[in-house]
A and B are shown apart, each in its own frame.
Chain A
Amino acid sequence: MKRTIACAIGLVAVALLPSKAAATAYRVVIEDMKFGPTPAALKVGDSIEWVNHDIFRHTATARDGSFAVDLPAGKTGRSVIKHAGKIGFFCRYHPGMTGSLTVSP
């Protein structure tokens, strides 16, 4: 019974989603004190896996506060893109490390 309800809710949720392509998971690599290339075709709902290949702790912090990922040396973290537009980001510890995302709706 519970399962049927859950299934039904799941179906409704899927049906309510816009008829656009499913969310995509991207990856941005940090190496040698630099953010690598960012994905060109980002959409709201997509996610970014931040991969820190450096021996230093970094962060991927959005200037508008929409994400803030702590990235200890050698670790990864994930953020979901919540809104469209151009979103600048930087490392809180090394603010000269910057980049930006261009997100379509």
Chain B
Amino acid sequence: MVKSFLAASAFALLALPGATLAQGAAKPSDAQIAHIAYTAGQIDIAAGEQALAKSKNQAVRGFAAEMVRDHKAVNEKALALVKKLGVTPEANPTSKALSSQADQKRAELAKLSGAAFDRVYVANEVAYHRTVNGALKDTLIPSAQNAELKSLLQTGLALFSEHQAHAEHLAASQKK
């Protein structure tokens, strides 16, 4: 009961503010999962590139470079996998909601600079990885049918949990 509630909230959180996949189809298909995971990665790559273009803080730039490098590596692997499996990633309300939220955040960050930019970027990275990791753990990994896709998502979760910890550490150091 508690677990299913948590799963539902994580997924709803991921899908906000758009319609959720949870309405109607209970579980996303592999083609939808692939699209959500790939989109989530692309969003963080774009955010990292924005930070590399704007931030002058070495710790923030190091973190951003790591995000770009790691998420590109996962997404390249994901593209190779869907090609091999003959799966065409399928856009869905969750991936669309992720993209539109990310567009808003990017526009907000574009207006900031210096320490204000660094703070908002890092705070968003904490929140973003937390949300995506919750969705991976509670919805995407359990729903994935293909074993290789499931395994890649699990590697992704291990990686993004590290990113979340790194972002939290960075956020804590900014408050000092």
Q: Which residues of A contact B (CB under 8 A)?
A: 32-34, 55-57, 73, 93-97
Contact = CB atoms under 8 A, between A and B. Distances in A.
Interface of B: 66, 69-70, 73-74, 76-77, 154-155, 158-159, 161-162, 165-166, 169
Nearest to B70: A56
Contacts of A96: 161-162, 165
20 contacts: A32-B155, A32-B158, A33-B159, A33-B162, A55-B73, A55-B74, A55-B77, A56-B69, A56-B70, A56-B73, A57-B69, A57-B70, A73-B73, A93-B66, A93-B162, A94-B159, A94-B166, A95-B166, A96-B161, A96-B165
Q: Is the interface of A mostly helix, strand, loop or mixed?
A: loop
B61 to A, nearest CB: 14
Q: Is the interface of B mostly helix, strand, loop or mixed?
A: helix
Given A32-B155, A33-B155, A97 B73 contact: no
Contacts of B155: 32-33
A95 B74 CA distance: 19
Nearest to B162: A94
A95 B76 CA distance: 23
B73 A95 contact: no
Contact of B165 (A32, A56, A73, A95): A95
